[in-house]
A = this chain, B = another copy of it.
Amino acid sequence: MSRVRELDPINLTITAEAGCVLARVQDAAAEAGRLLALSLASEGTAQIGGVLSTNAGGNATVRYGNAREQVLGLEVVLPDGRIWNGLRALRKDNAGYDLKHLFIGAEGTLGIITAAVLKLYPAPRESAVAMAAVRDARAALDLLASLQTENAEVVTSFEYLPRIGIEYVIRHAPGTRDPFDRVHGHYVLIELTSAREHAGLRVSLEKVLGAAVEDGRVLDAVFAESAAQAKALWRLREEMSDAQKPEGGSIKNDVSVPVSRVAEFIDTATARIRDELPGVRVVAFGHVGDGNIHFNLSQPVGADKDDFLSRWDHFTGIVNEIVVGLGGSFSAEHGIGRLKRATLEHFRGEVELGLMRRIKRAMDPDDLMNPGRVL
């Protein structure tokens, strides 16, 4: 269950079993000069089966989409023990209902994914990584828009990092440091990559950042001059979840809104939460390029952890109302599991839930698959 079964460099596909660790599949692709365009902080331990069952997102979604978008075919063990062999390595196949998308993101409640055919891309030849200090979250959005207009097809990552998150990381992740001489309030981490030779990514990124410095949206920027420097900048982003743990209780919100409303969401929700609990430390960070913000709340310094965490539902409720009011989702990339079932019932209407229940009953009438999850 952890074999790479096949790699077709011309068809740009790899067939991997569910137990394959994501990083191993990435490596197999890289050895063939190809790219698996799924990149998660947890790629060293996450397995393909889990990545697909949860429709994982990650750091390259702004360019390549979610895990779902990487899948051409699936093999699934069904509730009645039969195996559906849908391992087709085809980019076009309009023959009845699309079953694979039903299993992807279903969190194992409709069947167990045992293997998948995943898309590959030619390996990147060039990359440019930079971190920019921006005036505020709105300036981050403006910068994203400029970058998309100038560089659409090569914008691989665009992550937002607030000052407090950088401080947490520097305090708790050994070997990290602030890349800027001065303290700024807001940052973005940008990666452009291209499979083309002489793609001119650095020049092009300098141009966009230069224009943004001129008009005051960008306050300062640093470019990675080596792979090691790129890694150091990325570490500031990748340590940001873990670095919240030593700061006490943390209430997590994994939400998404239309990209155009990210700044409005962060500002509105931050103000509302601070009204509710002065001293609360809002750590809003993440994949602004695809509208997915991890809007986490650290307890006030010195507050009682259990007391703070006992208000989890109250705070997530406030955040989720704002999110949904902006046309967003209370569950962007982390899924429903057990914890968010009531939230799903609250926010998605009876029509949508009714459809999901019908599908669950039709596919798994005896409720054998991962009972108590999602619905």
Top-7 shortest CB links A-B = A101-B101, A362-B362, A10-B260, A91-B290, A152-B195, A92-B332, A93-B329
Chain A residues 299-354 with CB under 8 Å of chain B are 327-336, 340, 344, 347-349, 351-353
Question: B148 to A84, Cβ gap below 8 A?
Answer: no
Instruction: Give the contacting residue for A329; candidates B92, B258, B330; CB below 8 A.
Output: B92
Given contacts A149-B195, A260-B10, contact A94 B351 (CB under 8 A): no
* Residues of chain B with a CB closer than 8 A to A351's CB: 78, 82-85
Q: Residue A3 at the B interface, CB < 8 A?
A: no
Question: B61 to A92, Cβ gap below 8 A?
Answer: yes
Instruction: Give the contacting residue for A102; candidates B90, B97, B105, B329; CB below 8 A.
Output: B97
Question: B153 to A99, Cβ gap below 8 A?
Answer: no
Question: B95 to A331, Cβ gap below 8 A?
Answer: yes
Q: Residue A219 at the B interface, CB < 8 A?
A: no
Q: Residue A228 at the B interface, CB < 8 A?
A: no
Nearest-neighbor residue (CB-CB) of A67 within chain B? B94
Nearest-neighbor residue (CB-CB) of A289 within chain B? B91
A131 to B343, CA, bound (A): 55
Nearest-neighbor residue (CB-CB) of A91 within chain B? B290
Instruction: Give the contacting residue for A92; candidates B11, B90, B291, B327; CB below 8 A.
Output: B291
A145 to B85, CA, bound (A): 28
Binds B, one of A18-26, A196-204, A232-240: A196-204
Chain A interface size band reads 35 or more
A152 to B198, CA, bound (A): 14
Question: B55 to A94, Cβ gap below 8 A?
Answer: yes
A287 to B198, CA, bound (A): 29
Question: B152 to A122, Cβ gap below 8 A?
Answer: yes
In addition to A12-B259, A55-B94, A97-B102, 10 A-B residue pairs with Cβ atoms within 8 Å of each other are A62-B91, A66-B91, A84-B351, A90-B256, A93-B331, A94-B105, A94-B335, A122-B149, A149-B195, A153-B195
Instruction: Give the contacting residue for A98; candidates B9, B104, B195; CB below 8 A.
Output: B104
A353 to B78, CA, bound (A): 13
Instruction: Give the contacting residue for A292; candidates B91, B256, B331; CB below 8 A.
Output: B91
Instruction: Give the contacting residue for A196; candidates B12, B82, B151, B256; CB below 8 A.
Output: B151
Instruction: Give the contacting residue for A148; candidates B12, B287, B344, B362; CB below 8 A.
Output: B12
Some 19 contacts from A to B, beta carbons below 8 A apart, are: A10-B141, A88-B329, A90-B258, A90-B291, A90-B327, A91-B291, A92-B292, A94-B105, A94-B329, A94-B335, A95-B330, A96-B352, A96-B375, A97-B360, A97-B374, A98-B105, A150-B195, A151-B195, A362-B362
Q: Residue A222 at the B interface, CB < 8 A?
A: no
Q: Residue A257 at the B interface, CB < 8 A?
A: yes
A57 to B328, CA, bound (A): 29
* Residues of chain B with a CB closer than 8 A to A150's CB: 195-197
